[in-house]
């Protein structure tokens, strides 16, 4: 067994290192940039012999993830602070223990517009395709809607 103890004051799990969300990429395609996101691996197939991975992501104030899509799905559970998610043509607010499912090939981006950290747990398949940027039609539709436009940047 493996037991990762949680420190509520630090909001961190003992022995779980903080990793970069993705490798820095100054030439990232449109929308694929990101800001102030850390990744914490709570369970990885290589270590635990399972078919999925469980990560904790945290966005600092003003942070956002890349605007991406992929064939694999996400199931996300917010656990810290307040955040916002663009999923498809919708923008939703996330509070602790809200659960959010992101279907296959659906554009998505997480954002923290508050003053405190926003964190969520996220599962993904062990074997999965790489995220890709939105195509022009998807991008233009997000830009044309005042609700979603702020998240297409």
Closest CA to 117 of 88, 152, 79: 79
CB 136 within 8 A of CB 88: no
How far apart, in Å, do the first and last CA atoms of the chain sit? 43
Which residues sit opposite 38 in a β-bridge? Answer: 20, 58
The set of catalytic residues is 122
Nearest 5 degrees, angle CA 2-CA 11-CA 68? 90
Neighbours of 89 (CB within 10 A): 13
Among all chains, which residue has been given the structure tokens 């369970």? Answer: 43
Sign of CA dihedral 50, 39, 27, 90: positive
């Amino acid at each position: 067994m493996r037991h990762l103890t949680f420190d509520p004051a630090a909001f961190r799990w003992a022995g779980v290192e903080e990793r970069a969300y993705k490798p820095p990429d100054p030439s990232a395609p449109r929308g694929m940039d990101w800001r102030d996101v850390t990744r914490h691996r709570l369970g990885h197939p290589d270590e635990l012999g399972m078919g999925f991975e469980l990560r904790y992501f945290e966005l600092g104030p003003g942070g956002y993830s890349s605007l991406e899509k992929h064939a694999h799905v996400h199931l996300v559970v917010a656990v810290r602070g307040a955040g916002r998610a663009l999923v498809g043509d919708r923008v939703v607010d996330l509070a602790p223990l809200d659960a959010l499912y992101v279907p296959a090939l659906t554009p998505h981006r997480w954002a923290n517009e508050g003053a405190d950290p926003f964190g969520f747990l996220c599962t993904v398949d062990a074997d999965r395709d790489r995220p890709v940027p939105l195509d022009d039609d998807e991008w233009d539709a997000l830009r044309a809607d005042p609700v979603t436009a702020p998240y297409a940047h």
